[in-house]
Amino acid sequence: MNPPVLAAGGGADFSADTIGLVVIKAAVILVFLLLSVLFALWFERRIIGRFQERLGPNVRGPFGLVQSIPDALKLLLKEDITVKAADKLIYKLAPLISVFCAFMIFAIIPFGPAVHIPGTDIITPLQLTDLPVAVLYILAVTGLGVYGIVLGGWSAGSTYPLLGAVRSTAQVLSYELSMSLALVSVLLVSGSMSTSEIVDAQTDLWWSIAVLPAFIIYVISMLGETNRLPFDLPEAEGELVGGYNTEYSSMKFAWFFLAEYINMLNASAIATTLFLGGWRAPWPLSAINGGMFNEGWWPLLWFMLKLWLVMFFFVWVRATLLRFRYDQFMHLGWKVLIPVALAWVVGVGVIQGVRQFTDISLQTLLFTLAGVLVVFAVVLLLIPEKKDTVPDAKPGSTSGAKGKSTAEETEPFDAFAHGYPVPPLPGQSLPPSPRRAKVTAPAGAPASEEENNDG
């Protein structure tokens, strides 16, 4: 019987951690996140400046490194305004929910193996804690964090923040599903939900290579989950004037701003831990001298390098791509990412089950699956495309060659029928603009009553 692919190790041992040591670890993680956000602000602006052939921050401090401090102080010292129409309790609670959930993810992220604390006899893992269901904890906390955005947009008592909140709900539902399915592949090949055991399972091979499609799906989903370009539809400055946080200022706005950047760090840390080998040194360093670079404090360096490489990817995408339309965004999530992720999970599950419970070799299994996929693709290509039939026009009807009904022609689409601006669905179109008709009308043509009123 063949063994599973890379069985997980024993994970981290926290039995020697005292309450005081746990508090110190939590404080160090908190300070690390706050300092990382300050650095990320400079990091993003500097890199985007280079992409756009300008300098970026370069005045305050060496290379402009201190620029993030006056930016943060500017937010804190602004006037704190509370909207009269807002639900006061929820309005103030929403930013705290977002930032509190953002801080919770790093509690189960392993920064490194067990190390000796200098000047003491303490040996402890570079991790606050671990759980047998750590991956489920990650998904639960990220799902809970969206309540801050939803409640913030709803409680403001304004239209545009509400639209931003509704968009964020649909966005998180869509991309949380594809992200969860991508992580299921890692759980299947690792044999564990513990983050420390998943890192141990990547001793010989990183899961970004072994389950590459799942890694690609996760990378796309993390952009949508963190509301970053090209998926920042809940904020969409051009159409929603900032989105769910439009009615926030000063410290309450700063909490939302802080949560966004911490969530970027969270997504980068999860990608590093579950797909990029965690704190393990990249090859060939991991093979030097019996893995000496995977011991002591070296792993902390590898973890940080991988973390900031993923952060660089966030900034690179923002400087490169344009914002999607909302229909394109939802189409990608529901009709592409989720079906592909589901099919990949089924394939990984079949391979793992067959390898564990049968004597079929991996090569034979892969050739069989490839043959099935080829047959399936050929069948899809041979199926004739269904063409829309146009009903015959009845005598006296005004239906055109495209088969539009009389009701569709006599009842044009009204974007403001329900009180809110609604974009047209596929097949619908907005009525012509009276001003455009007035501009394009030939000289001397009589103006309609609506055009006269508009003029």
- The per-residue pLDDT for range 266-301, each reduced to its tens digit, is 999 999 999 999 898 888 777 776 667 888 888 999
Whether residue 96 is predicted with pLDDT greater than 80 in this model: the reply is yes
Identify the pLDDT of residue 270.
95
In a domain, 70, yes or no: no
Q: What is the mean pLDDT of residues 235-257?
A: 78
Identify the pLDDT of residue 421.
72
Q: What percent of the chain has pLDDT over 70?
A: 85
In a domain, 45, yes or no: no
List the structure tokens of 188: 């299947």
What sign does the dihedral 168-417-248-45 (CA atoms) show?
positive
Q: Give the C-alpha separation, 341 to 188, whole Å.
A: 14
Radius of gyration of the chain (CA): 27
Q: What is the mean pLDDT of the chain?
A: 81
- 159 confidence band (pLDDT: 50, 70, 90): confident
List the structure tokens of 353: 């089950």
In a domain, 86, yes or no: yes
Residue with more model confidence, 231 or 97: 97
Q: Give the C-alpha separation, 166 to 160, whole Å.
A: 10
Contact 241, 160 (CB under 8 A): yes
Q: Give the C-alpha separation, 110 to 281, whole Å.
A: 14
Peptide bond into 230 cis (omega under 30): yes
In a domain, 217, yes or no: yes
- The per-residue pLDDT for range 137-154, each reduced to its tens digit, is 999 998 888 888 888 888
Q: Which of 109, 114, 96, 171 is nearest to 137 (CA)?
A: 109
Q: Give the C-alpha separation, 287 to 270, whole Å.
A: 24
Contact 192, 130 (CB under 8 A): no
Least confident of 16-20, 87-91, 122-126, 404-408: 404-408
Whether residue 424 is predicted with pLDDT greater than 70 in this model: the reply is yes
Q: Give the C-alpha separation, 317 to 220, whole Å.
A: 11
Whether residue 303 is predicted with pLDDT greater than 90 in this model: the reply is yes
Identify the pLDDT of residue 411.
63
Q: What is the mean pLDDT of residues 396-417?
A: 54
In a domain, 409, yes or no: no
Q: What is the mean pLDDT of residues 153-158?
A: 86
- The per-residue pLDDT for range 335-377, each reduced to its tens digit, is 899 999 998 998 888 888 887 887 777 677 777 777 877 887 7
Q: Give the C-alpha separation, 105 to 137, whole Å.
A: 8
Whether residue 398 is predicted with pLDDT greater than 60 in this model: the reply is no
Q: Which amino acid is at 114?
A: A
Residue with more model confidence, 4 or 37: 37
Contact 315, 44 (CB under 8 A): yes
**Alpha carbon of residue 139 to chain centroid:** 12
Identify the pLDDT of residue 170.
83
Q: How many CB atoms lie within 10 A of CB 440?
A: 9
Q: Which of 29, 46, 34 is nearest to 315 (CA)?
A: 46
* Domain count for the chain: 1
- 4 confidence band (pLDDT: 50, 70, 90): very low
DSSP secondary structure of 98-127: HHHHHHHGGGG---EEEEEPTTSS-EEEES
In terms of phi and psi (left: phi > 0; alpha: psi -120 to 50; beta: otherwise), the region of 444 is: left
**Farthest-apart Cα atoms in the chain, separation:** 96
In a domain, 13, yes or no: no
Q: What is the mean pLDDT of residues 25-38?
A: 93
Q: What percent of the chain has pLDDT over 90?
A: 27
User: Which residues does 370 contact at the CB level (< 8 Å), separation at least 6?
Assistant: none
Q: Give the C-alpha separation, 344 to 218, whole Å.
A: 12
Identify the pLDDT of residue 448.
52
Pick from 3-12, 98-107, 118-127, 396-405 the range whose average pLDDT is largest: 98-107
Whether residue 265 is predicted with pLDDT greater than 90 in this model: the reply is yes
| Range of the structural domain that residue 183 is part of | 80-331
In a domain, 168, yes or no: yes
In a domain, 240, yes or no: yes
